[in-house]
Structure 1
Amino acid sequence: MNVLFDRLFDTQKNKKVFIKYSENREPLTYEEFLLETKTTARYLKDLGLKCEDRLVVQIRKSHHVLAIYGACVQLGIIFIPLNTSYTYSEVDYFLTDSQCKLFVCQPDMEKEIIQNDKEKQFITKTISSDYEGSFFETIEKLTPLDFVEKRHENDVGAILYTSGTTGRSKGAMLTHKNLLSNAETLANTWRFTERDVLLHALPIYHTHGLFVATNIVLITGCQMIFLSGFNTKEVIKTLPDSTVMMGVPTFYTRLLKDNQFSKKLVRAMRLFISGSAPLLSETHQEFERITGHQILERYGMTETNMITSNPYDGLRKAGTVGLALSDVSVRIVSLYGNDILS
């Protein structure tokens, strides 16, 4: 049994669109995405990767990253995405600390590794910004792999490095159960259905863009408009075709500064969600004045995924992050661990 793979990836065997792009590119269907995921799994297996090996990826945002993530879940490989702005000296620490078996990176990063690490204990494969590189040299000739590794709900599925602690960044281990239950809970809490279209302008090396946004899309079988990053003009162009947007506070402040942003522009939208940093009350109020929508603020951590959310139905209080999600317990404690308020 591998419930995470079954629920996120293997259930969507249809020709429905999974990813739309803002540029002139053909959309990607769920069927095509699953095919690439299973072919990537074959490729990883042929490279010698096995269950519980660690795969680190640091490349530009693309559906190829998502296919690698899916292939890792399929084979029980632990998926470790890294911020694309990390330098070699930072990456070197993560590769060593994580006991990396395969590093998928940009060609320039591979050159630095070859120059500086003569005794590396991992394989490197490249994917460039224009989606070429050694990762693709043989993969297109391979057949999809149907084998799915059995995984227990408490097995680690991913590691996200976080600087939210003292000292050097530490890897937060996220289990299959954590990833699945959080996606299910958020999809229910925020009323996602297969008819939704998520505007995705977030990075996918962070829990917000990957394990919140993308996992919800996968588990509900809806669509997403996949932007390479947040560009105000691109977001304004795609908002009329979207129903939900997830963002950080700066996304919303930048939209409010644009004269084209209006209530008419967002008439198809049903929900705006904010997280990763506090949203100012002034931004919340101004956004509601312009659009008629109250931004839904939620709270989570890299170590846990999402913990609390303002309600979908009911009052969304500016400057607050709402109540504990279903099956999540929250308590406030003192510095020494004593209960202050349950």
Structure 2
Amino acid sequence: MLTGLLAADPTRFVEVAGRRLSHPDLLAAASAVADDLEEHRRVAVLALPTLETVVGIAGALLAGVEVVPVPPDSGHAELAHILADSAPEAWLAHSADLGGDAAPGEGRLQLVRVNVSARADVILDPVDDEAIAFVMYTSGTTGLPKGVLQSRRAVVAGLDALIDAWDWTADDVLAHGLPLFHVHGLILGTLGPLRVGGSLVHTGKGTPAAYAEAARAGATLFFAVPTIWSRVADSPDDAAALRSARLLVSGSAALPVPVFERLKELTGHEVAERYGMSESLITVATRADGLRQAGWVGVPVAGVEARLRDESGAEVPRDGETVGRLEVRGPTLFSGYLNRPEATAESWTDDGWFVTGDVAVIAPDGRIRIVGRESVDLIKSAGYRIGAGEVESTLLGHPAVAEVAVVGEPDADLGQRIVAYVVPRAPHTPTDADADAESALADELSRFVGEELSGHKRPREFRFVAGLPRNEMGKVQKKRLLG
């Protein structure tokens, strides 16, 4: 799994928030952790953006021990659920991260200390490819978070497919400031360089200035979510520093068209988008040599197949317009939900395809555009099936719109009516004096959508707000808008 790290090239390194280890030192420190984990089966890692987190996870993987990445900002109830559900035998961390020997949350767990200065010889025992590498918890948007079981086989298949898609080599220096408890920041952003044998600069925080500094220091490959890319696009001097990069990648949500175009202007790069989830890792990606278009996430990676189905299970045309339920299959898929056999069974079709829960369109050339979640982004209004993402992308093309979320609300006549929550570019001050201006802007935006799209896709109502509810990865939490 960590093939590149095992080469122990002294010219390669991992740097997190300004602290750096060469690959040989990282490998030796991880081997010391592996020695300490000899009798363990599963450990929890408080996934702070630190060298200790990287060394600890690398050590656990060397030892064949399962890792439960825990978000550092977990609330009391979420943390208690994760620990009770996954039942780790110990915390794997620097003692200072946990406040001494005490585990955060209820109760106490044994602490296996991570010391980045420790060194040990590498001893590799065989580990089954189907052994679980990670128990990674979902965001819990439809109830308590579920533990996704990701095998070593799936992680390797996912990384190798992206190494192929992005022409990723040991000469690349990856830079990002993403959380280390999600697929994007942890598996792609941390294990990717250790798999390919390249270097990593984790900037600590995903700020435009930090990305620019990494570029000036020689970073060639950048990962970010749309929120970060939007901030980079609003910082021209920092964005210009990224002209020296080889590839910019965006994921976790659709990149707005204006941000895509602004980054192209400032950096000289068209951002490559990709799609995946905890259960599937990255199944679709825009190739380094592929066509890049805002909102389109590319084609299935090596070994992965994708298809669209309607509510009855019938095939949906690949015409770039017709929305369908996205289903995938391939070697990157998970091994099931921990302690949830029924939920696991419900996630698969009778003929062996994983039901992503997302809706999408597929173009004749095989490229995919994600419309959103089937539960909140597929709007059925007056007999039409409308993708919220298409309406959102259109509205973001209007100069008065900074952010937008489109939802379908129950309607006695239409079934669902299209409602747009809009963050205006001008400061939002909800007073009576604004009513006329907001009414005029709503009319203008309605006409704008009607000119760009079919008439039935125009929002029936616009609600102007100061901000949209988002999770830690920048995804809009539409269920909070729907109440």
Q: In which range does the TM-score fall when normalised by the shorter chain?
A: 0.7 to 0.9
Question: Secondary structure in 2 aligned to 1:95?
Answer: helix
CA drift at 1:17: 2.7
Q: Distance in 2 between matches of 1:73 and 1:296?
A: 29
Match of 2:25 in 1: 32
Match of 1:200 in 2: 176
CA drift at 1:225: 1.6
Match of 2:406 in 1: none
> Given the alignment, which residue of 12, 18, 29 partners 2:13?
18
Match of 2:61 in 1: 73
Question: Secondary structure in 1 aligned to 2:242?
Answer: coil
Contact 1:200 1:226 in 2 (8 A): yes
- Which structure is higher in strand share? 2
Contact 1:59 1:104 in 2 (8 A): no
After superposition, the C-alpha distances for 1:36-81 in whole angstroms (9 at most, x for unaligned) are 0100111222xx31xxx21111142112212211222222211111
Q: In the alignment, residue 267 of structure 1 is paired with which amino acid?
A: R
> Given the alignment, which residue of 229, 232, 244 partners 2:221?
244
User: 1:267 and 2:258 equivalent?
Assistant: no
Q: In the alignment, residue 35 of structure 1 is paired with which amino acid?
A: A
Contiguous gaps of at least 5 residues in structure 1: 126-134
Answer with 1 or 2: which has the greater Rg.
Answer: 2
User: 1:107 and 2:98 equivalent?
Assistant: yes
User: 1:88 and 2:65 equivalent?
Assistant: no
After superposition, the C-alpha distances for 1:233-256 in whole angstroms (9 at most, x for unaligned) are 222222222111000001111011
Distance 1:169 1:239, change over 3 A: same
Match of 2:463 in 1: none
Alignment of 1:209-220 (within 5 A): 209-220=185-196
What is the TM-score of this pair, normalised by structure 1? Answer: 0.84
Distance 1:73 1:104, change over 3 A: closer
Q: Distance in 2 between matches of 1:20 and 1:55?
A: 24
Contact 1:57 1:80 in 2 (8 A): yes
Q: Which has the higher contact order (CA 8 A, sep 6+)?
A: 1
Match of 1:316 in 2: 292
Distance 1:9 1:336, change over 3 A: farther
Question: Secondary structure in 1 aligned to 2:58?
Answer: helix
Question: Secondary structure in 2 aligned to 1:235?
Answer: helix
Q: Distance in 2 between matches of 1:113 and 1:231?
A: 28
Distance 1:262 1:71, change over 3 A: closer
Contact 2:236 2:266 in 1 (8 A): no
Q: Distance in 1 between matches of 2:87 and 2:16?
A: 35
Contact 2:8 2:27 in 1 (8 A): yes
CA drift at 1:204: 1.1
Q: Distance in 2 between matches of 1:279 and 1:39?
A: 41
Q: Distance in 1 between matches of 2:239 and 2:204?
A: 23
Q: Distance in 2 between matches of 1:21 and 1:99?
A: 29
CA drift at 1:218: 1.1
Match of 1:132 in 2: none
Match of 2:362 in 1: none
Distance 1:243 1:143, change over 3 A: closer
Q: Distance in 2 between matches of 1:239 and 1:146?
A: 33
Number of paired residues?
A: 314
CA drift at 1:295: 0.3
State the superposition RMSD in angstroms. Answer: 2.4
Alignment of 1:294-333 (within 5 A): 294-333=270-309
